[in-house]
C-alpha cells in the first residue's frame, strides 16, 4: 500500500495481514501502484522529475525511476507495458517493463482514468465528456467517444468499458456509471450506483464501484 504523506510503501502479508516492513517509494507523494507479475510500479504526485518508480517486492529495492510527465494520475498494465496518464500534460505514456524504456507518449485532449480491454487502451478525458481509444500495440488513436460529464475512473471487461464521473462545479454528485462497447464506442447503457461514485474495478466476473459519500462499495454483474 502507498503512504502518501511519508512517500513510502508498506508491505503486508496477504495470508494474515501481518506488516512486513516499510520501504521508500522512490517518488514523492505516491498515489497508486500496479503489479506487472514481477515488480511494482508506483506513481508520485508532486515531483515531476521522479514521477514513476519500479520496485522489487521481495526486498523493496528501487529498480528504476522514470519521468513520465508533470502530473501522473493513473496506471494500467497491459501484459508487457505499463501505461501512465498525465493530467497536466494531457498525455499517456507507455513504458516497456522488461527494460524500463519509454516507448511512446501519446497526446489526448485530457487524461485521467485508464482501462485496458485486452487490445486497446481507453483514456478518460476528465476535462470534457469523452473517452479516447488507443491501440496498445502502436499508440494509434482509434477514436474519441462521448460518455458523459467529466469521466473519472474506468474499468473494462473486454467487451465494454465502464466510466464513473467526477463532480462538476455547481452540479450534484454523480451516481451514474456509463458503459460503452469497446468494439465501436457506442453507448450501451448506464447504471445508478450509490450516491457519489469514485473508483471502479473489474474482477473477471463482477464490477466493484466505490462511493465517496457513503464510504461503501457496490458490486454488480453486467447482464
Give exposure, 137-162, as e/b (b: 16+ Cβ within 10 Å): eebebeebbebbbbbbbbbbbeebbb
List, in order of start, the domains of the chain with CATH numbers.
108-223 (2.130.10.10)
pLDDT of residue 169: 55
47-85 per-position pLDDT tens digit: 767 799 999 999 999 999 999 988 899 999 999 999 999
Give exposure, 79-108, as e/b (b: 16+ Cβ within 10 Å): eebbbbbbbebbbbbbbebeebeeebbbeb
Is this structure's pTM higher than 0.75?
Answer: yes
Amino acid at each position: 500500500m502507498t503512504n502518501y504523506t511519508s512517500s513510502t510503501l508498506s508491505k503486508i502479508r496477504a495470508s494474515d495481514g501481518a506488516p512486513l516492513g516499510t520501504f521508500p517509494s522512490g517518488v514523492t507523494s505516491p498515489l497508486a501502484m500496479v503489479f506487472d507479475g514481477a515488480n511494482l510500479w508506483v506513481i508520485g504526485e508532486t515531483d515531476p522529475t521522479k514521477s514513476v518508480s519500479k520496485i522489487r517486492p521481495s526486498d523493496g529495492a528501487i529498480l528504476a525511476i522514470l519521468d513520465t510527465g508533470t502530473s501522473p494520475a493513473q496506471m494500467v498494465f497491459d501484459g508487457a507495458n505499463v501505461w501512465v496518464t498525465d493530467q497536466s500534460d494531457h498525455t499517456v505514456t507507455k513504458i516497456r517493463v522488461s527494460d524500463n524504456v519509454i516507448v511512446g507518449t501519446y497526446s489526448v485532449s485530457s487524461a485521467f482514468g485508464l482501462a485496458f480491454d485486452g487490445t486497446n487502451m481507453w483514456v478518460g478525458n476528465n476535462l470534457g465528456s469523452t473517452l479516447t481509444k488507443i491501440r496498445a500495440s502502436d499508440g494509434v488513436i482509434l477514436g474519441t467517444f462521448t460518455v458523459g460529464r467529466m469521466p473519472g475512473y474506468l474499468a473494462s471487461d473486454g467487451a465494454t468499458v465502464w466510466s464513473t464521473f467526477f463532480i462538476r462545479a455547481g452540479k450534484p454528485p454523480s451516481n451514474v456509471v456509463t458503459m460503452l462497447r469497446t468494439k465501436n464506442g457506442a453507448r450501451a447503457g448506464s447504471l445508478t450506483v450509490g450516491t457519489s461514485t469514485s473508483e471502479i474495478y473489474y474482477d473477471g466476473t463482477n464490477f466493484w464501484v466505490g462511493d465517496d459519500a457513503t464510504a461503501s462499495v457496490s458490486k454488480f454483474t453486467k447482464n
